[in-house]
Amino acid sequence: MMVAVLVVAIALLVVGALSLRVLKEYERGVVFRLGRLREPLEPGVRLVVPGLNKLVRVDLRVVTLTIPPQEVITKDNVPARVNAVVLFRVVDPVQSVMKVENHAVATSQIAQTTLRSVVGRADLDTLLAHRTDLNEDLARSIAAQTEPWGVQVDVVEIKDVEIPEAMQRAMAREAEAERERRAKVISARGELQASAELRDAARTLSESPASLQLRYLQTLLELGADHNSTVVFPLPIDVIGPFLEAFRRGATAAVNGTGPMSNDAERTHDAERTHDGQES
């Protein structure tokens, strides 16, 4: 009897020792007793009888999942390699065990499929310039499929986009042409604004001749400050204007035959005809 009691006591101690389970603060325990689901276990020391109960530990921490590069074709028929990262965590331990065999593998496969599908609906410009919208679309699509499993998707970010080298050169040429176009537009706008300012300045100077003379003197002062050997004397238009006008009128009269030059020519011609008559 003593030996039997001792054996039973030792057996109970061994079973008790094997039945003790320690769950960490970030873990939850899903217990099946003879195949039937029991209430999930909270962190701490818990008693799980081996052979009678089966314990499945579920980690509630955020899991970082890297999606391997996926070969995709964008909406505008450009091949690209896209990879991404997914951050998810388990919010319902029971559903993560009951609804799916391995929630991490299932989330990874769903993320890869969704990445190819979403990127295939966008063009290359959207993929490169509006990545935030694609990230939000990816997060919504993945979360809608993992929510029944008790898995919550927090963040989905596209990490890198690789495009063919020929396409990169074409995009570089396009960007260079766009920069040249903007430079020409800015230069043209500057010329337009400068011409408008010059027009206003000329109008102001024409209303005040004294200001024009002051402008001439200021120009001479600026030229003299450079110590150049060339001296420029600006001549006002109102000074040489009468001379130009007289010269223009004389040239017009000469062409029409009414000016002094035409009268002298007629007198010379009459004298030559009189001399010829006397000789005859």
Q: What is the pLDDT of residue 89?
A: 93
- Please tell me the total number of residues recorded for the chain in this structure: 280
Report pLDDT digits (tens) over 182-204.
999 999 999 889 888 888 887 87
**Average pLDDT estimate for 143-168:** 88
* pLDDT score at 279: 46
Residues 6+ apart with CB under 8 A from 253: 259, 260, 261, 262
Sheet containing strand 36-37, strands side by side: 36-37, 27-33, 53-59
Tokens of 50: 């081996």
Q: What is the mean pLDDT of residues 231-245?
A: 65
The partner residues of 84 in beta bridges, in order of sequence, read 67, 158
Is residue 218 very low, low, confident or very high in pLDDT (cuts 50, 70, 90)?
confident
More confident residue, 222 or 149: 149
Please give the mean pLDDT across all residues of the chain. Answer: 80
pLDDT band with cut points at 50, 70 and 90 for residue 85:
very high
pLDDT at 36 over 60: yes
pLDDT band at 253; cut points 50, 70, 90:
confident
pTM for the predicted model, two decimal places: 0.59
Quick one: what percent of the chain has pLDDT higher than 70?
A: 80
pLDDT score of 127: 84
Report residue 87's pLDDT band, with 50, 70 and 90 as the boundaries: very high
- Looking at the predicted structure, is the pLDDT value of residue 280 above 60? no
Measured at the CA of 58, the angle between CA 57 and CA 59, to 5 degrees, comes to 120
- Judged by average pLDDT, the poorest of 4-13, 81-90, 131-140, 162-171 is 4-13
SS3 71: strand
